[in-house]
Amino acid sequence: MYNVELTFASPMDRDSLRVEVTPSVGTQTVFWPDENNMKAQVSGDFLPSAGYTVVVKGDSKTRDGRRWVRM
């Protein structure tokens, strides 16, 4: 199992974070390694040397309730 680390500019709401991986991977989970909610690790059955697109969905929110906006 491999993972991708996402780093955010502001703390995220853990419950609202929606991540889409294409092509899809089995057993996809999100782990928060820091208590500030600034980093998230998406892990799953990523294949070595394969290309993936990871998208944070627009309905994800920051910890203070604002809609997450991609920069």
11 is a domain residue: yes
Q: Are 68 and 62 in contact (CB under 8 A)?
A: yes
- 11-66: per-residue pLDDT in tens? 999 999 999 999 999 889 999 998 888 999 999 999 988 999 999 988 899 999 98
Domain count, the chain: 1
Is 61 inside any structural domain? no
Q: Specify if 49 maps to a domain.
A: yes
Residue 29 lies in a domain: yes
- Residue partners of 70: CB distance under 8 A and separation at least 6: 56
Q: What is the pTM of this model?
A: 0.82
* 51 within domain boundaries: yes
Domain encompassing residue 49 = 2-56
71 within some domain: no
> Quick check: is 70 in a domain?
no
Q: Where are the beta strands (DSSP E) in the chain?
A: 2-7, 19-22, 29-31, 39-44, 53-56
Instruction: Determine, yes or no, domain membership for 10.
Output: yes
For 45, the token pair is 């059955």
